[in-house]
Amino acid sequence: MTVASTCARATIVGAAVLPLAAHAAVLDGATLSAWWGLPFAGMLLSIALMPLAAPLFWHHHFGKVAAFWALATLVPMGIVHGLPTVGAGLAHTLLDEYIPFIVLLVALFTAAGGIYVRGNLRGSPGTNVAIMVVGALLASVMGTTGASMLMIRPLIRANDNRKHVAHVVIFFIFVVSNAAGSLTPLGDPPLFLGFLKGVEFFWTLRHLLPETAALVVVLLVIFYAIDSHQFRKEGVLARDPTPDTERIGLDGAVNFLPLAAVVALVLLSGTWKPGISFDVLGTEVELQQIVRDGLLVVVTFVSLAITPRGVRTRNQFTWAPMQEVAKLFIGIFVTMGPVLLMLRAGDAGPFGAVARAVTSADGQPLPWAYFWLSGALSSFLDNAPTYLVFFNLASGDATVLMTTLAPVLAAISAGSVFMGANSYIGNAPNFMVKAIAEERGIAMPSFFGYMAWAGVILVPLFVVLTFVFFR
C-alpha cells in the first residue's frame, strides 16, 4: 500500500460528513468535557503498549487501530454535536493540518532517500559524533526530517558490525531529529508556524542559539562517554557486513535539487501573501498553501524520476517508515483535535489549570512555565498546534512576543522543539528514524523504554536549561 492510498483512506473515513462541513458551527472547546480526551489517551496507550503486548497483531494492524480511535472520536462527536460540526472539524484537520504535514514529510523523505552516502566509515565514538554534528548543522537548513533521513542510514551502516546500536540511534533522535532544528523556521514545524504568524526568520537564531548550542554540545559529550564505554566493553563482530572504505562519496546527489526546492517552497508559502483564499468544506485554504502542497507533490515525483537507477536499492529505501507515520498520525491528529480545542479555550475550558499555570499571581507570564508546559504537551501532542496554543495564550501578537515578551516566545519555541524528543510521537522524524532502525534489525526500546532514556538524559538537562535561561 502506498502513502497516497493511506491518505486517501483517511480522507474517506470522513466522506459522509464532509459535505455538510461548509455550513457547520465551530465547536467551542469551553463546552467540552475532559472525557473527550479519552480516545487520544487510548491512541497513545495503543502506541505504547500494543507493540509489547501483541507485537504481531500491532505489526499487521496498527493502521486499523489508529482508524478505530479516530472513529471513537468522530462517531460520538457526530451523535452529540451533529455531523456538520464534526465534518467541519475533520475537514480542518485534514486540509489544514494532516495533508500539509504528510505532503511535506513525503517530499523530504523521498528526496533524502534518493541520496546514498557511498563508502563506509568505522562506527567509532568519534565517527558517530562527527555524523551527528553534520546532521545537527543540516537540521536547521533542511529540517529535522530531511537531516534525519539523510544521515540515519550512513550512521546505521557505520555501526552495523556492533552488537548494541540502539543508544546511538536514541541520541541521534535527541540531537538531529529534535534539538538541532530550533534555529530557523525550516528546522521544525512549530517554528514554521510562528514564521507564518509574523515571527522574523532569524529571530529564533538570535534568541535560541545559546540554549540550542548548550543542549547539543552537552548531549554529544554524554553520548561520547556512553558510546566509548560501550565500544570498549562489547568489541565488534568478527565480520563487518559493510567494511570500511577510504573514500566517501555521494550517489544521487541530484536529489539536493528537490531538497532545495522543498526549502524554497516552504519559504515561499511564508513570504508570498497574495491574499487569495478558498472555502473548502468550511476550512479557509490560502492560495500559497495550495501552491506549496501541489508543488511538493510534484517535487516528490521529480525526485523519484531523476534518482539514478539502483541508488534507492543501495540505500535500502522502502515506503514502510512513511506508511507507519501516515497511518498512526492520522489517528493522532483526529483524536487530539478535541484536546487542542479544550486547551485553546484557556481558563474557560476543562484544562483551565494549564492557562492559570503559566501566569504569576499578578498576571505576568512565567517563561519557565511556558517552557515546561509547551514542552510537556509537545512530548505527546503534535508540537506544531501545541506551539500555536501557547503562542496565542501568551499574546498571539508576533510583534509583542518578539519584543516585550521575547523570553516567553523563546521558552515556547524551545519547549516545543526540544521536548519533542521525550517520546517517539513527539516529532514525526522520531518515529521515522525508529522505523528505519528496526527495518535494519536494530532492537529499539519500547515506547516506555525510550521515555526512560529521555527521562534520565533529557529531563535533567531541561531542568538546568530552565535555571540558566528560562527563569
- For residues 173-187, give the mean pLDDT: 91
Residue with cell 515556547: 412
Q: Which of 219-228, 281-290, 368-377 is least confident?
A: 281-290
Q: Which residue has the cell 517508515?
A: 321
Give the contacts of 75 (CB within 8 A, at least 6 positions apart). none
pLDDT band at 180; cut points 50, 70, 90: very high
Q: How far is 79 from 70, CA to CA, in rounded Å?
A: 15
Task: Name the average pLDDT for the chain.
Answer: 84
Q: In what helix (H) or strand (E) does residue 97 lie, and over which residues does it extend? A: none
Rounded Cα gap, residues 183 and 179, in angstroms: 9
User: Residue 10: is its pLDDT beyond 50?
Assistant: no
Write down the H helix ranges in 125-255: 125-158, 166-175, 189-196, 203-234
What are the C-alpha distances in Å from 76 to residues 24, 46, 70, 327? Answer: 17, 20, 11, 21
Closest CA to 394 of 362, 353, 366, 416: 366
pLDDT higher than 50, residue 469: yes
Environment class of 102 (CB within 10 Å of its CB; exposed 0-12, middle 13-18, buried 19+):
buried
- Tens of pLDDT, residue by residue over 337-386, are 888 888 777 777 787 787 788 888 777 889 999 999 999 988 887 677 77
What was the pLDDT predicted at 171? 96
Residue bearing the bigger pLDDT, 367 or 3: 367
Task: Please state, in angstroms and rounded to a whole number, the distance separating the CA atoms of residues 153 and 161.
Answer: 14
Alpha carbon 467 to its chain centroid, in Å, reads 26
- For the beta carbon of residue 127, count every other beta carbon within 10 angstroms: 17
Bigger pLDDT: 66 or 163? 66
Residue 24: left (phi > 0), alpha (psi -120 to 50), or beta?
beta
Q: Give the pLDDT confidence score for residue 142 in this predicted structure.
A: 81
Residue predicted with more confidence, 203 or 383 = 203
Lowest mean pLDDT among 7-16, 63-72, 428-437: 7-16
Lookup: cell for 311: 541508488
Q: For 383-410, what is each residue's pLDDT tens digit?
A: 777 787 788 778 778 899 999 899 999 9
Strand ranges inside 256-405, DSSP E: 277-280, 283-286
Strands 277-280 vs 283-286: parallel, antiparallel or unpaired? antiparallel
| Least confident span in 8-12, 83-87, 204-208 | 8-12
Give the model's pLDDT for residue 95. 85
Confidence at residue 28, expressed as pLDDT on a 0 to 100 scale: 78
Q: 346 versus 424: which is more confidently predicted?
A: 424
Chain centre to alpha carbon of residue 167: 20
Is the predicted pLDDT of residue 309 greater than 60, yes or no?
A: yes
Residue 15: all three cell numbers together = 466522506
Average pLDDT over residues 213-221: 96
pLDDT number for residue 155: 92
Cα 91 from Cα 97, distance rounded (Å): 9
- What single-letter amino acid sits at 203? W
SS3 content of the chain, % helix, strand, coil (to 5): 75, 5, 25
Establish how many alpha carbons lie within 13 A of residue 221's alpha carbon, considering only the half-sphere containing its beta carbon: 7
Q: How many residues does the chain have?
A: 471
HSE value, Cβ hemisphere, 13 Å, CA-based, for 6: 26
Please state, for a pLDDT cut of 90, what percent of the chain lies above it.
33
Q: What is the pLDDT of residues 18-74, one digit of tens each?
A: 554 544 556 777 788 889 989 988 988 888 788 878 888 988 899 999 999 999 999
At residue 8, does pLDDT exceed 50?
Answer: no
Sorting pLDDT into bands at 50, 70 and 90, what band is 185? Answer: confident
Q: Give the max Cα distance, the chain.
A: 67
pLDDT of residue 237: 56
Confidence category of residue 7, pLDDT binned at 50, 70, 90: very low
